[in-house]
C-alpha cells in the first residue's frame, strides 16, 4: 500500500493526465478510480488541488478537440469509427443527436456522465459545425464539472477509500482476476447481443440499389425518412419522392399516418 501511495505521489499529476487523456480518446480504460484517488490525496494534503485540476481538464480538452476536429474534417467516417469501437454505437449516436436537439451546446455540460454520449458528443459537435468558441467554453465547463464531481467524492470519502484500498491489496491477484473476468464477461455479452441483433436486422434490410429497382418498377410501398433535424442539417433538407418524414421518437405517435397495406421502408443516413 505504501509503495502504491508513494508511486502516486511521485507521478500523480502525470498519471492523472494520461489516464483521463486515454479514456477521453475512446479507449476502455476508466479514469474515474484515478480521479477518486487524486481527490483523496488532495484531501490528505499530499497533492495540490490546482495542478490536479489543470492536469485533468487539459487532458479532456486535448482529447475532445481531437474528436471535434475529426468530426469537422472527416464527417460521417467518424461515425463509422465509433461503430467499430463502441458496443452500442447506434443508440449512443442517436441519443447524442437528440441531446443536441433538446439542449444544444449545454448538453456538453453533462455528456461526460452518460456512457455513450461522452464518446459521440465531441465528433458530432464538429459534424454539426458548432462554433469553436462555443464548443470550447461548454466542453471546458463540462470537463470542470466532471473532474470536480469525482475529485470531490474522493476528497470527502478519502478515509473509506483508503480502507477499501487496504482490503483490495490484501486480496491480491484474486481481486484483479475477479475484476478482469467481470469486464470481459460484460463485453462478451454485449458483443453477442449486438451480433444477434444485426442477424435479425439483416433479414429485413434492403440496399439502396434494391430500393431504386423497386421504385422504378412502381412497386407499392411507403417510404419513411427517420432522420432528425440535425441530420437534415448535415445531409441537406431533401427526401426521397413521396417519403414521409418523422423521427424514430415520433413513429409510435404518428403511426396512423403510415399506410400499412403495403411494405414500409425506413431509411436514414
pLDDT over 70 (residue 117): yes
CA distance 131 to 105: 10
In the chain, what are the domain boundaries?
2-171, 172-205, 208-267
Select, from the ranges 123-132, 170-179, 253-262, the one with the highest average predicted confidence (pLDDT). Answer: 123-132
Q: How far is CA 1 from CA 8, 47, 172, 186, in A?
A: 11, 17, 11, 29
By CB atoms closer than 10 A (0-12, 13-18, 19+), residue 248 is middle
CATH superfamily, domain 208-267, is Rhodanese-like domain (3.40.250.10)
The DSSP line for 71-116 is HHHHTHHHHHHHHHH-SSHHHHHHHHHHHHHHHGGGGGGTGGGSTT
**Which CB contacts under 8 angstroms, 24+ apart, belong to 259-266?**
259/222, 262/220, 262/221, 262/222, 263/219, 263/220, 263/221, 263/222, 264/221, 264/222, 264/224, 265/206, 265/211, 265/221, 265/222, 265/223, 265/224, 266/224, 266/226
Find all residues with CB under 8 Å of 16, minimum gap 6, and list them.
31, 34, 35, 38, 52, 55, 56, 59
Q: How far is CA 149 from CA 10, 93, 112, in A?
A: 24, 25, 11
Can you tell me which residue has the cell 423521427?
Answer: 247
Each residue's pLDDT tens digit, 162-186: 666 666 555 556 655 666 676 677 6
Q: Is the pTM of this model over 0.95?
A: no
pLDDT over 90 (residue 17): yes
Each residue's pLDDT tens digit, 213-256: 888 887 888 888 877 666 666 555 567 777 888 776 677 777 77
CA distance 54 to 269: 39
pLDDT of 124: 82
pLDDT of 178: 66
pLDDT over 60 (residue 77): yes
The DSSP line for 135-167 is HHHHHHHHHHHHHHHHHHHHHHTHHHHHHHHHH
Question: Looking at the DSSP assignment, which residues form a beta bridge with residue 198?
Answer: none
Burial 176-204 (b: 16+ CB within 10 A, else e): eeeeeeeeeeeeeeeeeeeeeeeeeeeee
Each residue's pLDDT tens digit, 57-74: 999 999 999 999 988 888
Q: Which helix (H) or strand (E) holds 120?
A: helix 117-127
Beta strands in the chain (DSSP E): 221-225, 244-245, 263-267
Phi and psi torsions of 253, nearest 5°: -65, -35
Amino acid at each position: 500500500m505504501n509503495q502504491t501511495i508513494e508511486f502516486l505521489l511521485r507521478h500523480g499529476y502525470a498519471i492523472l493526465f494520461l489516464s483521463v487523456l486515454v479514456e477521453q480518446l475512446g479507449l476502455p480504460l476508466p479514469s474515474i478510480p484515478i480521479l477518486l484517488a487524486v481527490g483523496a490525496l488532495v484531501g490528505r494534503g499530499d497533492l495540490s488541488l490546482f495542478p490536479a485540476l489543470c492536469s485533468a481538464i487539459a487532458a479532456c480538452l486535448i482529447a475532445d478537440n481531437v474528436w471535434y476536429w475529426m468530426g469537422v474534417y472527416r464527417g460521417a467516417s467518424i461515425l463509422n469509427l465509433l461503430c467499430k469501437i463502441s458496443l452500442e454505437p447506434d443508440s449512443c449516436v442517436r441519443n447524442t443527436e437528440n441531446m443536441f436537439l433538446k439542449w444544444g451546446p449545454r448538453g456538453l455540460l453533462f455528456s461526460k456522465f452518460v456512457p455513450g454520449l461522452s464518446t459521440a458528443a465531441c465528433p458530432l459537435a464538429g459534424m454539426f459545425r458548432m462554433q469553436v468558441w462555443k464548443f470550447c467554453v461548454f466542453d471546458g465547463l463540462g470537463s470542470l464539472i466532471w473532474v470536480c464531481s469525482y475529485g470531490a467524492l474522493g476528497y470527502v470519502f478519502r478515509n473509506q477509500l483508503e480502507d477499501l484500498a487496504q482490503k483490495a491489496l490484501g486480496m491480491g491477484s484474486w481481486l484483479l482476476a475477479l475484476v478482469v473476468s467481470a469486464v470481459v464477461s460484460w463485453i462478451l455479452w454485449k458483443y453477442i447481443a449486438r451480433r444477434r441483433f444485426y442477424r435479425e436486422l439483416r433479414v429485413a434490410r434492403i440496399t439502396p440499389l434494391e430500393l431504386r429497382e423497386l421504385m422504378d418498377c412502381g412497386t407499392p410501398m411507403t417510404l419513411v425518412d427517420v432522420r432528425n433535424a440535425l441530420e437534415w442539417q448535415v445531409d441537406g433538407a431533401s427526401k426521397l419522392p413521396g417519403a414521409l418524414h418523422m423521427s424514430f421518437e415520433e413513429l409510435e405517435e404518428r403511426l396512423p399516418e403510415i399506410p400499412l397495406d403495403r411494405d414500409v421502408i425506413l431509411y436514414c443516413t
